[in-house]
Amino acid sequence: MKMLITGGAGFIGSNYVHFVRKNHPDYEIVVVDKLNQQGNVKNLDEVIDDIEFHHFDLIEEEKLRPIFEAGLDYVVHFAAETNVDRSIEDPDSFVMSNVLATNILLRLSRDYHVKRFHHVSTDEVFGSLELGTNDRFNEDTPYDPRSPYSATKAGSDHLVRSYFHTYGLDVTISNCSNNYGPHQVPENIVPVFALMALEEKPLTIYGDGKSIRDYLFVLDHCRAIDLILHEGKAGESYCVGGGEEKNGIEIADAILAITERPENLKTFVRDRPGHDRRYAIDYAKLARELGYKPSVTFEEGLQQTVDWYRNNPDWWKPYMEKFYVPKFLQEDTEKLKKS
């Protein structure tokens, strides 16, 4: 079998490359990644000699087409612009990467008879849930995206389904909750808080800190994707969750406890515009039909994640030299530096 993994040098994509290399050693793996702020070819150091790696943007169709001409069995599509704050500042790049590039991949997959196209999406396409309820997103939840990021992911989901219904392309979709784990760049809450704590710097919590996310350890997500790719039903979507709902304060407290740092590092800043209050995933369909269940508790996964950052400063220090601060927080951040 030959597999194209887009965004395979990114956080989730690189973890999946390693997963496939370990669990399907006979597979040929082709990775395409444009190496934006989320991608790092060092994530593939251990397997780089065993895979075919290409550095270019997926919208460069003239570079992508020869890979399809050489023959592919599977396409697993991770590549996307993913940071909500960046999408608020630059929606155009999210439309290009998340919608236009996905359409190019789908069209080539159709034209070159790919056996299955799996699209990796997000629970953010479903909008927001109310705090204090037991509601959870599932495969029948109506789409209600609230940010340019989630809107472009919703658009790409609809494109994938259209290729199934219109052209008969074998597709599957997964909508996952918040991933965390090794190799995640410090633009998401877990790596940001872990690195801030390790360096004894303020952990900036948005708003009241009570917005809730469902946390999924990245290797559990990789297992779920692999199950869907090989055993999922064509044309179906599957929600993937970790069953671990935490708010920002709880994440900060857990990381401060692991790193043995003082609680006064918690610092509250203004809230993100349009900040969704709660995400939660019902993964009953995936459990019932494909036998999925998370294997790593939040406590275990968070300990493994913090340990990885503690032991790999050469990997994360370059990111800290150009640490991304959303525009709406830059004034607050300058005040923190002076205080």
Got the DSSP string for 137-159? B-TTPPP---SHHHHHHHHHHHH
pLDDT at 80: 92
pLDDT at 151: 94
Give me the catalytic one of 16, 149, 215, 292.
149
pLDDT at 170: 98
Q: Please give the Cα distance from 299 to 297 (Å, whole number).
A: 5
Q: Please give the Cα distance from 73 to 112 (Å, whole number).
A: 10
331 is annotated as an active-site residue: no
> Please, are residues 243 and 283 in contact by the beta-carbon 8 Å criterion?
yes
* CATH class name, domain 2-180+217-240: alpha beta
pLDDT at 36: 86
pLDDT at 273: 73
226 is annotated as an active-site residue: no
Give me the catalytic one of 123, 220, 245, 276.
123
Q: Please give the Cα distance from 11 to 13 (Å, whole number).
A: 6
| Cα–Cα distances in angstroms (integers) from residue 103 to residues 21, 219, 234, in the given order | 27, 28, 18
Residue 236 tokens, joined: 């179906």
**pTM of the full structure:** 0.92
List CB contacts of 250: < 8 A, sequence separation 6 or more.
none
123 is annotated as an active-site residue: yes
DSSP β-bridge partners for residue 214: 245
| Cα–Cα distances in angstroms (integers) from residue 158 to residues 45, 93, 173, 234, in the given order | 35, 19, 10, 15
pLDDT at 122: 95
Give me the catalytic one of 81, 85, 124, 244.
124
User: Which portions of the chain are predicted below pLDDT 50?
Assistant: 338
